[in-house]
Amino acid sequence: MSYLLAKKIQIRPVWKLIHTLPMYKDCQTYQIDNALSCYGCCVNIPCSVGIKAEEIEYIADNIVNYFMRN
């Protein structure tokens, strides 16, 4: 996250998983096999109906650059 934040790209962790919240701890009704592992490594990237094509390209380029350097 720090790499993209340093590039002025506003990303954030994904929302807390509903089935992990205390008020919903007994409400899980189906198997959630991958949710916890995804929660630890996924982020939300900028999205908006007003986002411009060049902003999308800038974000995508920087995500690619991050993975190319690692």
CATH label of the domain that carries residue 22: 3.90.1150.10
- Low-confidence residues in the chain, pLDDT < 70: 70
Q: How many domains does the chain have?
A: 1
Would the pTM count as exceeding 0.75? no
19 in Cβ contact with 39 (< 8 Å): no
Where does 1-70 have alpha helices with state H? 2-6, 35-39, 53-69
By residue range, what is the domain housing residue 33? 2-69
What gap in Å lies between CA 4 and CA 46, rounded to an integer?
Answer: 11
Can you give the pLDDT at residue 37? 85
